[in-house]
Chain A
Amino acid sequence: MKKQLFTLFIILCAGISASAQSSSFSFQYSMGFGAGDMKDYIPNASFRGATLEWRKYVQPNVTVGIEAGWNVFYKALPTDSYTAGNTTLTGKQYRYQNQVPLLAAANFFLKTDEKLKPFVGLGIGTMYSRRNTDMNLYTLESEAWHFAVRPEVGLMYSMSDATAAYLGFKYYTGLKSGDFEKSQSYFAINVGFVFGTY
């Protein structure tokens, strides 16, 4: 964990101290689609999520910055019975999984002089996962801070000098950590706006 925070800190400092002149904020609505172990636990897509990004241009076609996001996955299971040894428990189960990635990120723009700017990006940092299985008035909770990687492809469409529309496809992977015996991964489709000067 300390290593991850240190890496994040170094990349952050590098981004902030870079000599570029402009920066931008982005507010994004995020839809999540679980993969692997997360999908096994909650197959439903998440339509509750958001991402905030801050970026600084270090080259005309390269930005570095930070990203913070949140997605919550949810599924209510119908009444069912669960048996362990000589004990059987019957009831409804409510499953929640919250994902909070905190990443240092860089984007590389394939085109810079057109209104439509495709880009590829990579984020590295940490991701907090919290899984709650609620039955009756009790909850079973698992949580972890993972080392996380997030590749991305996306498009930005300039609407004015200081505003752009944003569409991004991201894939978050948090390596096995804490209470989780498997890595936690999900796709995200983000739409939003970018505000700033660039």
Chain B
Amino acid sequence: MKLTSYYSKLLVVGTLLLAACYPEGPEFADDPDVVVTHYNPEYAFKSKGTFAIPDKIVKITGNAITGDPPKYLSDAVGKPMLNQMVKNMTAFGYTQVAITAVPAPDLVLLPAAMETTTVVYWYDYWGWYYPGWGYPYYPYYPTYSSFTTGTLTMNLVDPKLSAADGNDIAQWTGALNGMLTYSYDAVRVNRLIDQAFTQSASYLKK
């Protein structure tokens, strides 16, 4: 069995055409957005009345591990997020108090943000393969692309409860993850914050 030149060309064209029409998947930056929530089913959220929240969102960068002072999201970005969290907690029937209030707040909502950049390399040689109908005469050359994802976590802790090591125990966690774009999209982030509360309403809403 010997493939003629005609057949091999047809095969190459066919393969390229098929590769070109592979399903497209996510098209927009917000298509991969996800919201994950997790809660402690033993904890009686509805019996709690007050909550507190910091006035800044800490940025997890590893600085704390190396002993450097923590970094925070800028107020322009962080404040709208904090306001949206407060709006949702209030709508669920909780009353905001200062974090230093006496008596201590029943719950404290601790938000944190982090970024992860992923670099992807690939080898682009199809462009060279096509014109000559033969094996590439040019060396393969690598190209790369990168994307950055952002994660915002919201941890609801009870200041009266802590683990054996002294750390707070998250009774509820909401995490938002998506690809970051060049400009901050408050509508998109607020929608995801709202979603975290909406999908937790059955146990969180009073």
Q: Which residues of A contact B (CB under 8 A)?
A: 16, 23, 25, 27, 48, 50, 52, 54, 70, 72, 74, 76, 81, 86-92, 94, 96, 134-137, 195
Contacts and interface: CB of A to CB of B under 8 A. Distances in A.
Given A50-B18, A81-B199, A195-B7, A89 B23 contact: no
Given A88-B200, A94-B26, A195-B7, A70 B18 contact: yes
Query: Interface on chain A toward B: helix, strand, loop, or mixed SS?
Result: strand
Top 4 nearest A-B pairs by Cβ distance? A74-B23, A91-B34, A136-B34, A90-B35
A114 B37 CA distance: 67
A135 B33 CA distance: 8
B32 interface: yes
B199 A91 contact: no
B36 interface: yes
8 contacts: A27-B10, A81-B199, A89-B35, A91-B32, A92-B26, A92-B32, A134-B25, A137-B118
Contacts of A76: 25
Interface in B107-162: 118, 149
B39 interface: yes
Given A48-B22, A92-B31, A96-B23, A87 B1 contact: no
B54 interface: no
A76 B40 CA distance: 32
Nearest to A66: B1
Given A48-B23, A92-B33, 19 more contacts: A16-B1, A25-B7, A27-B10, A50-B14, A50-B18, A72-B23, A81-B199, A87-B36, A87-B37, A88-B199, A90-B199, A91-B35, A92-B32, A134-B25, A135-B34, A136-B34, A137-B118, A137-B149, A137-B179
A153 B54 CA distance: 70
A186 B25 CA distance: 22
A87 B38 contact: yes
Contacts of B33: 91-92, 136
A94 B1 CA distance: 40
A41 to B, nearest CB: 14
A94 B37 CA distance: 21
B25 A48 contact: no
